[in-house]
Structure 1
Amino acid sequence: MPRTDRLLRDPRLSVAVERLGVDVVKGAVREAQRRAREGRIPPEDVPETALALLPGTACGLRPVINATGVLLHTNLGRATLSAAARQAVQEAAGPTDVELDLATGVRARRGRSALAALRGRVPSAGAAHVVNNGAAALVLAATALAAGREVVVSRGEMVEIGDGFRLPDLLVSTGARLREVGTTNRTSAADYAAVIGPDTGFVLKVHPSNFRITGFTRSAQTAELTGLGVPVVVDIGSGLLAPHPALPDEPDAETQLRAGASLVTASGDKLLGGPQCGLLLGDPDLVTALARHPLARALRVDKLTLAALKATLTGPPTPTARALTADPARLRTRADRLAHGLAADGIDVRAVASAATVGGGGAPGVTLPSAALSLPEPYAAALRTGSVPVVGRLESGRCLLDLRAVPEQDDERLAQAVRSVRPGGEGRA
C-alpha cells in the first residue's frame, strides 16, 4: 500500500495541495487507500484514484446544469450570474476602493457605484440602499419605521415565503405589531383607512408572488393608499425593476414608485438576475434613515456582492433575461438536434414540448413554452450524481431535461453528461 507521505510528494498531488489545501488532498488519498484495502482497486491505482476523487475547487459547492425548466430555482441558487458579473467578482476579490475615494484619500460611501447604477435603472427612485437579501430589506424597514408600532397589512397578503418562513413571523420579530385588514380574498382602500392612527408605522403591500387567488377578489392598489398620511411600503419580491412584456401581471419597482409608494423592497437574485441581495428604493429621506439605522450595519453586503450587482445592472443581458425571452422554436431546434445525436448512440431519448416556469417566488401561474429531452425515469438520479451533475424533473414517468434555463453553449456538456451515465450506474463517469 503506498504510504500517505510518499503519495503527497507525487507532483500531481503536490500541485493539488497548493490549489485545494493539504486536508482536502489527504482526505482523497485516504479514501483511495481505503478502497485498495477493501480490494475495490489495486494498490497501484491509489494515486490515480486519489486524483479522480479531488474536487474541482475548494468552494464546497458543485456546479450543476439546471434542466428543471425553473428559471430561478431556489435550491440551485436562483439567478445565474452573467459573465460580466463573474468577472467583476474576480476583480473585486483583492483590495478595492469599496469605501475609499481615491481622488481625495478620504472615506466614501460604500457601494456608491452600484447604488448609482440601481438608481439609473429605476429613475423614480430618489435613493437606493442594498442589504443582504430581500427578507432583510423588509426587516430593516419594519425595524426602523414600526418597532413598537403597527404595520397595516391585508389578510390576503400574509404570505409564507418558503421553507416555513412566514411574513407575519418575520415582521413581528422586529418588534412591530401587525394590524390585519380586509379578508383573504377582498381588501379595499377603505379597510386600510379605517385603522390608520397615531400608532401606525406604515402600510405594507406584499405581492403574493408564489400563489394566485382568483374569482371574487379585490385588492387595493398602491395609488389608492398614498393619501393616508403614512408611508406606503411595497414588497414586490421578485426584483423586476421595470415592466416586462412577458410578465404583464408582475409588479415592478418603477411602476410602484410612480404610483406613490414611499419605499419598494425586492430581491436581487430573482428576475434582476444578479447576486443575492435586498434592494430598497424610494423616498430619499426614508432610504437615508434606513441606511443610517444601526441594524443596517448587520445587514450590509460585501464588496463581491456590490461588484456583481453593479455589473448586472450595467452589463449585457443576464442569463435570466435571456432565458425569459428565449425563442420556443429555437429551443425545439436544439432539443431535436440533441435528441438525434443521443439516439444515434443507442439512448432512449426524444425531443418533446415542455412548459417552463419563472420560479423563485415570481410570476405564479405563468408558463413559458419550452422544449425538453425525454429520457427513461432512472436517468434522473443517474444524471444528478454524474461527474457533471444535471438536474431535470420527472413527468409522466419520464425524466425531462428542459432547455429554457440551459445556455446553448452548454448543449454539448449536457449531451456528454447523458452519454456518460446509465441508469443503475452502468457506464457512469
Structure 2
Amino acid sequence: MEQRTARAADQPSGAARPGCGPARPHDGPAVPVPDAADARRAIPRTDHLLRDPRLSPAVDRLGVGVVKAAVREAQQRARDGGIPPEQVLQTALALLPGTASGLRPVLNATGVLLHTNLGRAPLSAAARQAVQEAAGPTDVELDLATGVRARRGRSALAALRDRVPAAGAAHVVNNGAAALVLAATALAAGKEIVVSRGEMVEIGDGFRLPDLLVTTGARLREVGTTNRTTAADYAAVLGPDTGFVLKVHPSNFRITGFTCSAETAELTGLGVPVVVDIGSGLLAPHPALPEEPDADTQLRAGAALVTASGDKLLGGPQCGLLLGDQDLVRALARHPLARALRVDKLTLAALEATLTGPPTPTALALTADPVRLRARAGQLAETLAADGLDVRAVDSRATVGGGGAPGVTLPSAALSLPGPYAAALRTGRVPVVGRLEAGRCLLDLRAVPERDDARLAEAVREAGPAGKGRA
C-alpha cells in the first residue's frame, strides 16, 4: 500500500494515470484506499481459532471436523464481505450445531401430531433419559444375579404385556412393516395370505403392502371388492394352502357409503390364524379415537396375532410390535429372520420407559384442551403484535397423522402469519415447521408443548423484519 502510494505521488503533475485521466494541477497527495485483500489478511487462521479457549470445549463435545466446518464457513463469510474479520470467532460459535449429528431438532407446528417427515412421535423425557442411561454397557442380555445370558429386552417385553392383558406374549422388531414381514415369512412362506381387496393399501413413500408381502414367498389371495368384503368371502377360499387370514386397518384413508367389512370376531372360527395389522399402535381403546382399532380389543376378539408400530399413537421409538398367542409369538421370535429384524438396546430402553413412564407428548397433544390452546395462541399473538409483527390468533384443526385415525380432526388454535414466514421459520436458528393455508403461515399449537412457547415466539421474531441479519 505504501509503495503504491509513493509511486503515484512521484509521477509528474501532468502525467496520465491509468484509469484516472490527466492529473490536475490542484491534485494533492494520493490518499490510501482500503484494500479488500488487506482485510482478508486480517481473517484469523484456522489453527489459531481451533486453539481458542472459547472453541476448544466445542472440539471436545462435537469433534474437530464439525468445529472446523463452522470455522471455515465463518471465514468464508468474512472473505465475501458479509462480516468483518473480528467477528469470525463469534460467527463460528453461532454456527456450531447442538450435536455432532446432522439431524436438527425442530418445533412441530404443522398441526399433525405424528408427522412422518419429522420423525413421528417425540419421545417423553423419561424415554430420553432411559436412552441416555442405556448408551453405555447394560444388562440387555445378561442376568446380573446369576451371571448367565438372559432373554434380550425382557423387562421391556414384560412392560408391553402388562399394557395389553389379552396378549399371551410379545416380541419387538425394528418397525411395523418388519413385524408383518416376520409374520408372513414364518406363517405363510409358500402358502396363501387371504386379504380383502379393500385392504391392499399403500403405506407411504410408494411402499405397497402387496409388494411387501410377496417378498416373503407368500401368495396373496384377494377376496371381496374394494368397498365390500364379508366373512363368507374369506371362508369360500380357505384351504390347505392357507397360511393365515390378514386384516389390515386402512389407516391413511377412508371408504364411505355402500361398504361392508368383516370384523375380526367373524373370522376367528374359520380354522386358520387371523393376523390383524392395526397400524397406529393404539394398545387400548381411546375416548378421543372411538373408531381406531386397538391391540387389546382385537386379541379379545380372537386374533391370533396383532402387529403395530411403536412410534405412532403409543408415542414411543420406531419399532414393530407383535402381540398374541404365546406359542405363536415365541415361534416368531425364534425364526431366523427375527435376528435380522431385532432392535437395539436404545430402542428397548425407550420403549420400556414409554410404556411405564408418564404420559407421552403424543398422549398430551391428543388430549390437549382447546380452550387452553386458544389462550396460548392469544397470548403469543398479543406479545408478538406488540413487537410490530403481522400476527393474529386463529382457530385451527389438527390431525393425528402417521397413518392413524383417518378423517379425524381435533380442535386447535394457531398463530397466523404472512406466507413468507413459512420458509424463514424452517431455516431459522430454531427451525419451526408450520403449514400454509390460504396464503398464510399457520403455526398450530396442539403438537407444540407449552414449555416451548417462548422458543416459538423468539423464532418468529428472528424470522420477522426485526430479526433480519441476525447471526
Please indicate the TM-score interval, normalised by the length of the shorter structure: over 0.9
| Displacement after TM superposition at 1:368 (Å) | 0.2
Question: Aligned partners of 2:469 and 2:412: how far apart in 1?
Answer: 30
Q: 2:413 aligns to what?
A: 371
Which stretches of structure 1, 4 residues or more, deviate above 4 A after TM superposition? none
1:350-391 Cα deviation digits (max 9, x unpaired): 111100000000000000000011111111111111101110
| Displacement after TM superposition at 1:152 (Å) | 0.5
Contact persistence 1:232–1:262 (CA under 8 A) = yes
Q: 2:53 aligns to what?
A: 11
SS state at 1:179 partner = strand
| Displacement after TM superposition at 1:37 (Å) | 2.0
Check 1:428–1:374 CA distance in 2 against 1; reply closer, same or farther (3 A cut): farther
Check 1:381–1:117 CA distance in 2 against 1; reply closer, same or farther (3 A cut): same
Q: 1:419 aligns to what?
A: 461
SS state at 1:274 partner = coil
1:153 aligns with 2:195: yes
Q: 1:122 aligns to what?
A: 164
Q: 1:330 aligns to what?
A: 372
Question: Aligned partners of 2:465 and 2:324: how far apart in 1?
Answer: 53
Given candidates 269, 273, 281, the residue that maps to 2:315 is 273
Question: Aligned partners of 2:70 and 2:388: how far apart in 1?
Answer: 35
1:70-93 Cα deviation digits (max 9, x unpaired): 000000000010111111111111
Q: Which is worse superposed, 19-28 or 282-291?
A: 19-28
SS state at 1:60 partner = coil
Question: Aligned partners of 1:423 and 1:196: how far apart in 2?
Answer: 67
TM-score of the aligned structures, taking structure 2 as reference length: 0.90
Q: 1:299 aligns to what?
A: 341
Contact persistence 2:282–2:294 (CA under 8 A) = yes
Q: 2:204 aligns to what?
A: 162
1:218 aligns with 2:260: yes
Contact persistence 1:382–1:423 (CA under 8 A) = no
Question: Aligned partners of 2:77 and 2:387: how far apart in 1?
Answer: 32
| Displacement after TM superposition at 1:426 (Å) | 2.6
Contact persistence 1:122–1:242 (CA under 8 A) = yes
| Displacement after TM superposition at 1:34 (Å) | 1.8
What amino acid maps onto 1:193 in structure 2? A
Check 1:226–1:423 CA distance in 2 against 1; reply closer, same or farther (3 A cut): farther
Q: How many residues align?
A: 429
Contact persistence 1:125–1:281 (CA under 8 A) = yes
Percent identical? 88
Contact persistence 1:331–1:403 (CA under 8 A) = yes
Question: Aligned partners of 1:426 and 1:53: how far apart in 2?
Answer: 16
Q: Which is worse superposed, 215-224 or 413-422?
A: 413-422
SS state at 2:260 partner = coil
| Displacement after TM superposition at 1:43 (Å) | 2.0
Q: 2:402 aligns to what?
A: 360
| Displacement after TM superposition at 1:38 (Å) | 2.1
What amino acid maps onto 1:107 in structure 2? R
Question: Aligned partners of 1:399 and 1:325: how far apart in 2?
Answer: 24
From the CA coordinates, give the structure whose radius of gyration is larger. 2
Q: 1:112 aligns to what?
A: 154
Residue pairs, 1:40-51, within 5 angstroms? 40-51=82-93
Given candidates 203, 213, 234, the residue that maps to 1:192 is 234
Question: Aligned partners of 1:4 and 1:402: how far apart in 2?
Answer: 43
Q: 2:292 aligns to what?
A: 250
Q: 1:20 aligns to what?
A: 62
1:346 aligns with 2:388: yes
TM-score of the aligned structures, taking structure 1 as reference length: 0.98
1:230 aligns with 2:272: yes
Question: Aligned partners of 1:9 and 1:151: how far apart in 2?
Answer: 64
1:137 aligns with 2:179: yes
Coordinate RMSD, CA, aligned: 1.1
What amino acid maps onto 1:11 in structure 2? P
| Displacement after TM superposition at 1:297 (Å) | 0.5
SS state at 1:205 partner = strand
Question: Aligned partners of 1:406 and 1:32: how far apart in 2?
Answer: 32
What amino acid maps onto 1:175 in structure 2? G
Question: Aligned partners of 2:382 and 2:93: how far apart in 1?
Answer: 35
What amino acid maps onto 2:252 in structure 1? N
Contact persistence 1:382–1:424 (CA under 8 A) = no
What amino acid maps onto 1:100 in structure 2? L
Question: Aligned partners of 1:399 and 1:93: how far apart in 2?
Answer: 39
What amino acid maps onto 1:44 in structure 2? E
Q: Which runs of 5+ in 2 are unaligned?
A: 1-42
Question: Aligned partners of 2:206 and 2:95: how far apart in 1?
Answer: 36
Q: Which runs of 5+ in 1 are unaligned?
A: none
